[in-house]
Chains A and B, each alone.
Chain A
Amino acid sequence: MNMTLYAKMLKVHAKSISSYAIGSALYLLLIIGIYPSIADAPGLNDLMESMPESFLAAFGMEGGFQHVSDFIAGEYYGLLYVVILSIFCLMTASQLMARHIDRGSMAYILATPNSRKKIAITQAIVLITGLLIIGITTALAGVIGTEVLIEDKPFEAMTFLNVNLVGILLFYVISGYSFLFSSLLNDERQALGLSGLLTIVFYGMDLIGKMSDKFDWMVHLSLFSTFRPVEIARGTVDVWPMITFLFLLGTVLYGVAILVFSKRDLPL
C-alpha cells in the first residue's frame, strides 16, 4: 500500500463517505425513534398477521416484531441499508479504478515507482475503509440510539451487532465484484452499469424467490440470501457459515481484481 495515495484518495472521497455514514446513521435513528409509538399501537401485530404471508416474508417481517432489534432489522436493514450501501459501493468502486483508467489520470499514478499491484491494493483499501466507516457508524448509531431513545424495551445488542457484521461482509462481497468490474473495464459507466445490474439481479431474485414458492430456487442463487437481518436479529440462524462464506468470497473477488489489473493492457 502507498500511504500518500491512500491519504489523498481517502480525502477525495471523504465527503461522500461521511455523507453516506451520517445519512445511514440518521435514518436508523429515525426508525428507532418511531419504534415506541408502533410497538405501543394495539393491533399492529394483528394487522401484520392479516397481510399475506409471502409479502411479509419478502421484507423479512413475518411473525411480527417482538424486539427493537427485530424491528430495526426489518425496517432498516431489510431495505434502506441495502440501498445506501449498494450505492456507495458501486459508485466508489467505479470511481477508484475505472474512472482513472477512463480519464487517463491512472497514467500519473502509474508513472511513479509503485507496482500496479500496490496501486490496486491501495485503492481497494480505500474502498474497504469507506465501507467500514459507514458500517461501523451505523452500528454505533443503532447501539447508542436504542440506549438513549428506548426505555425498558428488550434490545439484543449481540444479535444486532451480528446483523451489522453480516451486512458489512455482504457489502465486502458487493464492493468486491464492483471493484473487479472497475479494474477490468476501461469505461467508468460500463463498470458502474455492470456492477449495478448484477446487484439488482441478485436483489430481484431474492425478492421474487421469497414471495413465490414456484421461484424459491432463485433465493439460493442470490447473494442476498446470506443476509437475513430479521432472522439474525432474532438469533434463529447461525451466522458463522455466512460470515466465513462472505469473507472468503469477498477476499477472492478483491484478489482477482488486483491480479487482473496488474496483468492487463491499459489504454492510458
Chain B
Amino acid sequence: MIELNGLTKKFSNGKGIFDVTFSIPKGEVFGFLGPNGAGKSTTIRHLMGFIKPSKGKATIDGMDTWKDAAKIQEKIGYLPGEISFLDGMNGMAFLNLVGGMRGMKQTSYRDELIHRLQFDVKTPIRKMSKGMKQKVGIVAAFMHEPEVIILDEPTSGLDPLMQRIFIEIVMEQKEKGTTFLMSSHSFSEIERTCDRAAIIKDGKIVVVENIHDLQQKQRRLFDVTFASEEEAKRIKQSPLDVVSTTDNRAEIAVQGDYNQFIRALGDYQVRNIDIHEQNLEEVFLNYYNKEADPS
C-alpha cells in the first residue's frame, strides 16, 4: 500500500533523509521509530506531498506522493506531529471545515469518535489543552474512515485512559483492513499496536523488523532493591548484566531473556523492582552503537 523507494531529501544544512526504503502492505500497522530530529516527520511530509524528494520516490496505492498529492488525499487520514488548527473557530467548526473540504457526507463515525474520546467540540480551539487538540486531530484523521492513516506521534498529550481508547480505535480500523503508519520516539508507544517497525537514525533506516523480534532486542533497565547491601554486591557475580550498584540497589540490564533474570533473582531477597524509563537510544543500544559514525 505504501512504498518508499530510495527516498532522499537533502536540506541545505546537510541534514535530511537518505535512501529511505521500506514498504507497508495493506492492512498492516507499521511503526516508525526514531529520536527527535532523526527524520520521521520529514519522511511523513514526503508521504503527504508537502515536499518534493531530491531523489527516489514514494507511492501510496501506486500513486506518486508528490505528483498525485491531491488525489492520494482521498485515501488518507493524517495527524500532524505539531497540532496547529486554524484560528477563530471551535472544534466542531474545524471538523466541519475539514469534512466539507473532503466532501464528506457521513458523520456518524465522526460523532462516535467524538463520543468515545470524550471532549467538548464546542470549545474554541485557542482554549483547548494539548490533549484536547490531539483528540480533535485524531477525529480529523479517522472520521472519513480512510484506507491509509498516517499518524505523527499520535499519543503525545493523551492520558493513559485515552491512549487505551486510541489503541482500541486503531485496532478496530485495522480489522477493517486499514493500513497504518505511526511514528513515535518511544518503543512502548507502538509495541502494543504495530506489526512491524522501522528504526531511523540520522535520516537513515537502521532496521525494519517485526515487533516481536524488536521486543526481543530491546534492552531494559531494572532497578532492583535487595534486602541487604551484600546481596547487591553478590549479584555482580551472577551472569546478569549488572550496570551499577549503589547501597542495596542494583541496576540490571535485560535483553530478551527475562527468564534468566527471574531465575537469578529467585535466590535473593528482593524488596522492590522498578522499571527504568528509557529513551529509544538506550532501548536499542545495539542499533544505535552499531551504526554509529566512525567519527
Contact = CB atoms under 8 A, between A and B. Distances in A.
Say whether A and B bind each other.
Answer: yes
Interface of A: 2, 4-5, 8, 12, 100, 103-105, 107-116, 118, 265-268
Kindly name the residue among A8, A111, A114, A265 whose own CB sees the greatest number of chain B CB atoms within 10 A.
Answer: A111
B101 interface: yes
Nearest to A101: B50
A114 B70 contact: yes
Contacts of A5: 97, 100-101
Kindly name the residue among B69, B71, B97, B101 whose own CB sees the greatest number of chain A CB atoms within 10 A.
Answer: B101
B48 A8 contact: no
Contact of B84 (A105, A112, A114, A116): A105
Contacts of B97: 4-5, 8
B86 A118 contact: no
Interface stretch (B73-81, B171-179, B263-271): B73-81
B275 interface: no
Nearest to B79: A111
Contacts, number: 80
B86 A2 contact: no
B51 interface: yes
Nearest to A12: B88
B84 A103 contact: yes
B227 interface: no
19 contacts: A4-B100, A4-B101, A8-B93, A12-B88, A100-B86, A104-B82, A107-B48, A107-B80, A108-B80, A108-B85, A108-B86, A108-B140, A109-B101, A110-B73, A112-B98, A112-B102, A114-B73, A266-B50, A268-B50
A111 B86 contact: no
Contacts of A104: 80, 82-84
B157 interface: no
A105 to B, nearest CB: 5
A105 B100 contact: no
A103 B80 CA distance: 12
A125 B17 CA distance: 37
Give the size category of B's interface with A.
20 to 34
A268 B80 contact: yes
A105 B50 CA distance: 13
Contacts of B74: 113
B48 to A, nearest CB: 7
Given A5-B101, A112-B98, A268-B80, A105 B85 contact: yes
A111 to B, nearest CB: 4
A112 B69 CA distance: 9
Interface of B: 45, 48-52, 69-71, 73-74, 76-78, 80, 82-89, 93-94, 97-98, 100-103, 140
Given A108-B94, A109-B101, 17 more contacts: A2-B101, A4-B100, A12-B87, A103-B84, A104-B84, A109-B86, A110-B48, A110-B73, A111-B73, A111-B76, A112-B101, A113-B74, A113-B102, A114-B70, A116-B69, A265-B51, A267-B50
A114 B48 contact: no
Contact of B48 (A103, A111, A115, A267): A111
B46 to A, nearest CB: 10
* Smallest CB-CB A-B distances: 9 pairs: A4-B100, A115-B70, A104-B84, A112-B101, A265-B51, A113-B73, A111-B78, A113-B74, A103-B84
A110 B50 contact: yes
Nearest to A112: B101
A107 to B, nearest CB: 5
Given A4-B97, A12-B89, A115 B84 contact: no
A63 B94 CA distance: 56
Contacts of B140: 108
A266 B94 CA distance: 22
Contacts of B77: 111
A110 to B, nearest CB: 7
Nearest to B76: A111
B78 A8 contact: no
A225 B49 CA distance: 42
B144 to A, nearest CB: 9
A265 B78 CA distance: 18
Nearest to A99: B87
A89 to B, nearest CB: 19
B164 to A, nearest CB: 26
A115 B49 CA distance: 10
B56 to A, nearest CB: 15
A118 B70 CA distance: 10
A5 B94 CA distance: 11
B16 to A, nearest CB: 11
A121 to B, nearest CB: 13
B1 to A, nearest CB: 17
A246 B76 CA distance: 42
Given A12-B86, A265-B52, A114 B101 contact: yes
Contacts of A115: 69-70
Contacts of A266: 45, 50-51
Contacts of B101: 2, 4-5, 109, 112, 114
Contacts of A114: 70, 73, 101
Nearest to B71: A113
